[in-house]
Chain A
Amino acid sequence: MRTAYLDTLYDLAGKDRRVYALISDNGAIVYDKYRKDLPAQYLNLGISEANMLGMAAGMASCGKIPFAYTIGAFLAYRAFEFIRNDICLQKQNVKIVGTGAGEIYSALGPTHHSTEDLGGLRSLPNLTIITPASPMEVKKATVAAYEYEGPVYLRLGTNKEAEIYEKDYIFEIGKGVVMREGRDITLISLGTVVKDVLDVAEALDKEGINTRVINMHTVKPIDRELIMQAIDETGRIVTIEDHNIIGGLGSAVAEVIAEYGKGVTFKQMGLHNFSEGYGTYQQVKANNGIDVPCIYNAVKKIMD
């Protein structure tokens, strides 16, 4: 995803001199090509996330389009007030790009996990939040963020994530993507977890459980229509996210369900605490109850 992001940013910056890559001393090597070819549109501001975002807002007020990049946890937690006051309150056209969504920096531990970022940021007015699910989606989301006039939080994984789209598709901010149709139950997810959910759906389908999968890449504004349609057509909803169950995708879907007022079977899957344990991303997800077997079992339990 990181490569997909950087390739896209490279193209955008090459075409539009208003585009700037700001980084907080993270990803220096992967920026090599960008730095070499577009030195005037590159700034490593050192380890100072608050200053980077405040500065990005100031630059945006002069018509620049800064993409401010580092680990999402450091942006969303440390620099929250700068996102709120300097970027969102003043509607500055800053793209806040966080890497390491969820527990993807598994063995680095909870300080590096973005597992409460959606909860915090989702409440901020004027902020659009996109969590792409694959490299192709990262490219589309980066272009969409560039074309959109206003603050965007782009929540990326790391690298070498699997591609989940077999062919080109239309990406639109605020519009979820139905990855597969189904009548019995709807699984809604975002980010790299969508791949796991698709694997689960395939296994369920073989057992006669016709499973719909929605990739809700934009958690804010959320695609209410698509959720209501899923309620009407499948009657069962499960949300799966690598994020705390408070404040993230599950909460956003629950808000739509509650207001819609129709009876529905609903389950949220995600973290209930800080991430436990170390290991590979797969191992950490397993340890925290959100890997493929855990999702499969949870859905089976609902269907039984």
Chain B
Amino acid sequence: MREIEETARDIRKKIYQIAHHAGGGHMGASFSMADIISVLYFDDVLKYDAANPNWEERDKFILSKGHASYALYAALAKAGYFPEEELRHVGQPGSKFGGHPKRNDIPGVEASTGALGHGLSFAIGIAFANKVDRKDSHIYVVLGDGECQEGSIWEGALSAPTLELDNLTVVVDHNKLQAMDELENIVHMQPFEDKWKAFGWNVVEIDGHNYEEIKDALLTRQIGVPTVVIAHTVKGKGVSFMENVPIWHFRMPNEQELPILMEELGLTEEDLQ
């Protein structure tokens, strides 16, 4: 198995471990972007120093779809921002980790997110500041596709090209599902890529589970233009019974399902102790 593949597998294991100890969480959304966050943090894309989380020259990652916090927590722990042990208590009294990431509390978290439609504008502010400071630092944002139903996303989508923020890359985790149903059954969002093109973005479309495509897209730059990566993904990716099933937006496996999940993610009984 290739290194990045193993990394992504480990991230998925960690995501379930967090949910297992916490007794719940948004697993589908976290699995959906597990490959993206793996490449971002562990395949020479994001520039960071876990030992010095506030390093001035770092790149920044904003998880705008804050409900996929377990994916972020898993990546930050693996990167060494804090001991993995701390993730055994997510959502519990005394823990600094909640269902949604909080800046200032957790090293490596750049913005408190959870309410949808906030991360893009926050990231635009950072990208603008870095640009005027002539900092060689890139800003990445992951949006949910359902999140793109928020009006503020499109305020930001107008703003970033206007400000010529070529130091900003938005990744839309386009799994085509939201909490209750398929996106298109709820709000017509197609043609989705064309909307971003019309707003003035450099649009890159990829398979969000193909590591080469993810890396190439994350490293794509166009002078004077922000880039949006429309990553076609599968919600719940990696656990067969979760894939493309809306109910797994927020649910825990039962006794029959758990062994299947463990088998598919490569988790042992010991891993869940």
Contacts and interface: CB of A to CB of B under 8 A. Distances in A.
Nearest to B117: A50
A54 B124 contact: yes
Contact of A54 (B110, B130, B156, B163): B156
Given A51-B152, A51-B155, A90-B112, A59 B129 contact: yes
A119 interface: no
A62 B133 contact: yes
A82 B125 contact: no
Contacts of B195: none
Contact of A85 (B115, B129, B162): B115
A51 B104 contact: no
Interface string B211-249: 000000000000000000000000000000000000000
A58 B155 contact: no
A64 B121 contact: no
A267 B156 CA distance: 45
Contacts of B125: 54-62, 66
For chain A, the bracket of interface size reads 20 to 34
A51 B124 contact: yes
Nearest to B132: A40
A46 interface: yes
Contact of B156 (A51, A56, A66): A51
Contacts of B124: 51, 54-55, 58
A55 to B, nearest CB: 4
A85 B152 CA distance: 14
B128 A90 contact: no
A86 interface: yes
A81 B103 CA distance: 16
Nearest to B110: A61
B118 interface: yes
A42 B103 CA distance: 27
B112 A50 contact: no
Interface string A35-56: 0000010010110101111111
A46 B155 CA distance: 9
B159 A90 contact: no
A63 interface: yes
Contacts of A58: 111, 121-129
Contacts of B133: 62
B158 A54 contact: no
Interface string A3-46: 00000000000000000000000000000000000001001011
A302 interface: no
Interface string A66-100: 10000000000000011001100111000000000
Contacts of A53: 121
Contacts of B114: 85
Interface in B102-161: 102-104, 110-115, 117-118, 120-130, 132-133, 151-152, 155-156, 158-159
29 contacts: A43-B163, A46-B162, A48-B155, A48-B159, A50-B117, A50-B151, A51-B159, A54-B121, A54-B152, A56-B125, A57-B122, A57-B125, A58-B111, A58-B122, A58-B124, A58-B125, A58-B126, A58-B128, A58-B129, A59-B126, A61-B126, A62-B125, A62-B130, A63-B129, A64-B129, A81-B115, A82-B118, A82-B121, A85-B113
